[in-house]
Amino acid sequence: MSTPATTPAFPAAPAAPPPAWIEIDLAALAGNHARLTRLMRVHNPAAEVAGVVKANGYGLGADLVGPALARAGAPALFVAHLAEGAALRQALAADPYQLQLARPVYVLNGIAEGEADDFLAFDLRPVLNGPDDLDRWTRAGRTRGRPLPAALHIDTGMSRLGFDEAGFAALAADPSRLGGVDIRITMSHLACADDPAHPLNRRQLDRFLAVAAAIGRGRLSLANSSGLFLGPDFHFDLGRPGVALYGINPIPGRANPMAPVVHLKARVLQVRTIDSFESVGYGAAARARPGMRVATLAIGYADGWPWSAAGKGEVMIGGHRAPILGRVSMDLVTVDVSALPPSLIHGGAVAELIGSHRDIDALAEDAGTIGYEILTRLGRRYARRLVTSGQTQVYPIGVPTPQTEVDPAP
């Protein structure tokens, strides 16, 4: 018999501070939820705002933002996949306030064959996107002896998910087809909500009104983040915002009504003064001049910092702006710190990359993409830290969000 090899006792993680991190302001998140709730309640005092936390909470961690939104009063949470729902259910179960009992979790992409047991084991509800989903959930209910709760999604013009025109017509002709499921939400999704002038918005609204009249069950839900800003006609009973909760502007071209939730920070690894070298970084894409001082930051495209934003924008170090230089490396970005007081620039100094000087929407514009993509690609590699905006937030429902203070960084 051989002796089993002993496992060396490594610590769980380094104790030293991380090289780059995102700060997530849960007070601002709850404030954004409250802001959207107020917007809806002007015309409908019973309206509620759910939280969409798919793609791991838009990259911020569904384990963090899911419970935070539940505490802020979101009556339901939406994920895309079964596995996301299972992870969220575990995070909600670990929440000290145990509010998960009152928080249904809906799976937007529907239910595949063989998934019903997992849906029930994790207390998840499918969004029924077509006759196959309806059939699977009806069968699952029959074996359990009761119709099971679900949302019903009717496509009103996006041609992506939901009962198509023929599928809806069949339901409208014979609503008893829904008799084996317990529909809690009837929903549709807008294709052009961020463009208020687009005629498809009105067409989708008219079709959704027809859906509601023919087969509407439970709460009616049409609007995502931008849809909530199309006016009260689009509100119905339940808002389904995602991106606006996380601080992205839901009304492009106008002032952002949402509070920033995400700050991105990275440390300076090295500082150098250029002597005779003529360029900085890959591709020799940035010109250097003698005497220029360059700081190298511990962040790159593998951290979700967009390669396509090379050479654009600035970072903030100690309240000063430092222009980004040259290409973005996998793990590194270089900035021109020639104009900054030398005492501020040293290994370990903190640079802010996303913050009040440059929000996610501005970065997305420089990178030729949308804020959604920037946001969802952040955070896979970073440490996450909770901060508080310091403002007193009034929560309409639920209990105050606990806060963790971190070391102050510029």
Give the footprint of ligand PLP on this chain (CB under 6 A).
Answer: 52, 54, 108, 189, 224-225, 240-244
Among the listed residues 54, 58, 106, 246, the single catalytic one is 54
Smallest distance from the beta carbon of 195 to ligand PLP, in angstroms?
13
Beta-strand ranges (E) seen in 200-332 are 219-221, 238-239, 262-273, 279-280, 286-287, 293-297, 314-317, 320-325
Nearer to ligand PLP (CB atom), residue 52 or residue 105 = 52
Nearer to ligand PLP (CB atom), residue 109 or residue 279 = 109
Beta-strand ranges (E) seen in 253-313 are 262-273, 279-280, 286-287, 293-297
The token pair that represents 261 in the structure block: 């939730």
Nearer to ligand PLP (CB atom), residue 183 or residue 244 = 244
Q: In the annotation, is 301 catalytic?
A: no
Q: In the annotation, is 282 catalytic?
A: yes
Nearer to ligand PLP (CB atom), residue 48 or residue 336 = 48
Asked if 224 and 240 touch (Cβ cutoff 8 Å), the reply is yes
Smallest distance from the beta carbon of 254 to ligand PLP, in angstroms?
16
Q: Which residue is nearest to ligand PLP (CB)?
A: 242
CA angle 306, 311, 317 (to 5 degrees): 90
Smallest distance from the beta carbon of 156 to ligand PLP, in angstroms?
12
Among the listed residues 97, 246, 265, 282, the single catalytic one is 282
Nearer to ligand PLP (CB atom), residue 192 or residue 340 = 192
In residues, how long is the chain?
410
| Straight-line distance from the first to the last Cα atom of the chain, in angstroms, rounded to the nearest whole number | 59
- Kindly give, in sequence order, each residue whose CB lies less than 8 Å from that of residue 386, ignoring residues fewer than 6 positions away: 23, 24, 25, 26, 64, 403, 404, 406
Residue holding tokens 């511990």? Answer: 298
- CA 79 to each of CA 82, 241, 249, 278, 316: distance values in angstroms, whole numbers, following the listed order: 8, 12, 21, 49, 34
Smallest distance from the beta carbon of 111 to ligand PLP, in angstroms?
15
Asked if 341 and 317 touch (Cβ cutoff 8 Å), the reply is no
- CA 148 to each of CA 136, 176, 181, 183, 284: distance values in angstroms, whole numbers, following the listed order: 11, 15, 5, 8, 61
Nearer to ligand PLP (CB atom), residue 204 or residue 225 = 225
Smallest distance from the beta carbon of 189 to ligand PLP, in angstroms?
4
Smallest distance from the beta carbon of 354 to ligand PLP, in angstroms?
18
Question: How far apart are alpha carbons 217 and 236 in whole angstroms?
Answer: 13
Active site residues: 54, 282
